[in-house]
């Protein structure tokens, strides 16, 4: 794909909102206040009734710090509107409760918390959910014909980096009157913008690449105004609003998003190639490798291959654990997308809640190690992996 938006993505990360500080600060100050006063009841009612934009109450999202980050986030994905949340899971929950009540189909691997929400908790509320694998797409027509109105998936997926064709899935779903939501956390807007490919919603755990420093927890849902307005009351009444201080931290992080992700892309490519040659690594999962099954699709629908890769250690789960425990630069920790490199063994963290049989069905072996490549020198990260494997 080629870039076509103007102004450019880097420019939008810095100048993506219209709010200006009265005192000339280049960055909007934190409005760390719960409520806002009005000169008159008439002025208050203009905001309450929606006749005029304005700040009112932070839990509602009516706060300048929140307005600014949402305008910027929307611009990065080419969305008409964005709602920010206290976490990625909060964003997904509001999406599912608003647009998934007639049935949800989840395709492929996903974050363990998402799978638990879909498989175990939403059915308690009477919401029908179906989980199919990427190789089971032949089942999608029947599920859509049966009435499912929301199709949800990650691409690349966690942790196998499987690629799903956003254009094709969106076209099929729309033919049945269903909507499509894509979790774009792994790719970030730098590497992929699903709305351009036909998706109706984009969701992010902003804790990851958008935050980029492992010091904030947030989420965001983006799409058209028509589809996002019904989400507003769910967010308000579930109390899942982002805090103004967190919104300001996220705005700080977005200013370096493009340079961070592009560096992580480059380093991940070099590490994947090095691990692909290593005798103690049986397989490397990374879209940037020509032999990777989703490589051609990645070249078509992505701008970059990302900073995430998974290696499968030659041996079993205990061998992978020993490698993880010997790493020095890669911190043994869940999460991803930060400046520091992280390693996690999916069977012990992100997918620990799945049964051994379900992990095997999804192709998630105990010998897998998921790597989130940070901003350290690639040569040092490769050396760290080689000493741990040795």
Closest CA to 92 of 59, 121, 60: 121
> Any catalytic annotation for residue 208?
yes
How many whole angstroms separate alpha carbon 62 and alpha carbon 120?
A: 33
Q: DSSP for 79-94?
A: -SEEEEESSHHHHHHH
Single out the catalytic residue among 57, 59, 149, 326: 59
SS3 content of the chain, % helix, strand, coil (to 5): 45, 15, 40
138 classed as catalytic? no
129 alpha-carbon distance from chain centroid = 21
Catalytic residue of the set 12, 31, 109, 111: 111
Quote the CA–CA distance of 101 and 23 in Å, as a whole number.
Answer: 47
Which tokens hold the place of 113? 């918390």
**Which of 179, 208, 260, 359 is flagged as catalytic?**
208
- Per the residue annotation, which of 109, 130, 183, 384 is the catalytic one? 183
The residues, ordered by sequence, that sit 6+ positions from 316 with a Cβ below 8 Å of its Cβ are 366, 367
Return the exposure string of 285-310: e unless at least 16 CB atoms fall within 10 Å of the residue's CB, then b: bbbbbeebebbebbeebbbbbbbbbb
User: Closest Cα partner for 224 from 15, 14, 101, 77?
Assistant: 77
Active site residues: 59, 111, 183, 208
């Amino acid at each position: 794909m080629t870039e076509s938006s103007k102004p450019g993505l880097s420019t939008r990360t810095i100048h993506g909102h219209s709010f200006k500080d009265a005192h000339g600060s280049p960055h909007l100050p934190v409005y760390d206040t719960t409520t806002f006063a009005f000169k008159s009841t008439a002025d208050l009612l203009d905001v309450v009734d929606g006749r005029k934009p304005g700040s009112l109450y932070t839990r509602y999202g009516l706060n300048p710090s929140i307005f600014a980050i949402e305008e910027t986030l929307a611009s990065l994905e080419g969305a008409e509107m964005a709602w920010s949340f206290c976490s990625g899971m909060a964003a997904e929950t509001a999406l599912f409760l608003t647009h998934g009540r007639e049935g949800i189909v989840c395709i492929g691997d996903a974050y363990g918390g998402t799978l638990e929400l879909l498989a175990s908790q939403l059915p308690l509320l009477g919401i029908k959910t179906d989980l199919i694998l990427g190789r089971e797409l032949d089942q999608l027509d029947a599920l859509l014909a049966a009435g499912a109105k929301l199709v949800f998936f990650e691409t690349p997926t966690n942790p196998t980096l499987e690629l799903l064709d956003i254009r094709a899935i969106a076209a099929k779903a729309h033919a049945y009157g269903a909507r499509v939501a894509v979790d774009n956390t792994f790719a970030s807007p730098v590497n992929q913008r699903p709305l351009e490919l036909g998706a109706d919603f984009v969701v992010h755990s902003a804790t990851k690449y958008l935050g980029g420093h492992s010091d904030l927890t947030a989420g965001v849902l983006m799409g058209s105004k028509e589809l996002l307005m019904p989400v507003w009351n769910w967010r308000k009444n579930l109390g899942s609003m982002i805090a103004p201080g967190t919104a300001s931290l996220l705005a700080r992080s977005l200013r370096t998003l493009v340079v961070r992700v592009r560096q992580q892309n480059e380093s991940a490519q070099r590490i994947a190639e090095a691990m692909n040659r290593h005798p103690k690594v049986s397989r490397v999962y990374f879209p940037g490798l020509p032999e990777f099954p989703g490589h051609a699709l990645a070249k078509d629908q992505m701008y970059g291959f990302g900073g995430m890769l998974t290696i499968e250690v030659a041996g079993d789960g205990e061998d992978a654990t020993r490698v993880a425990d010997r790493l020095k630069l890669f911190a043994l920790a869940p999460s991803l997308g930060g400046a520091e490199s992280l390693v996690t063994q999916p069977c012990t963290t992100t997918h620990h809640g799945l049964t051994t049989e379900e992990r095997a069905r999804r192709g998630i072996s105990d010998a897998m190690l998921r790597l989130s490549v940070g901003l350290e020198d690639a040569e040092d990260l490769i050396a760290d992996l080689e000493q741990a494997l040795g």
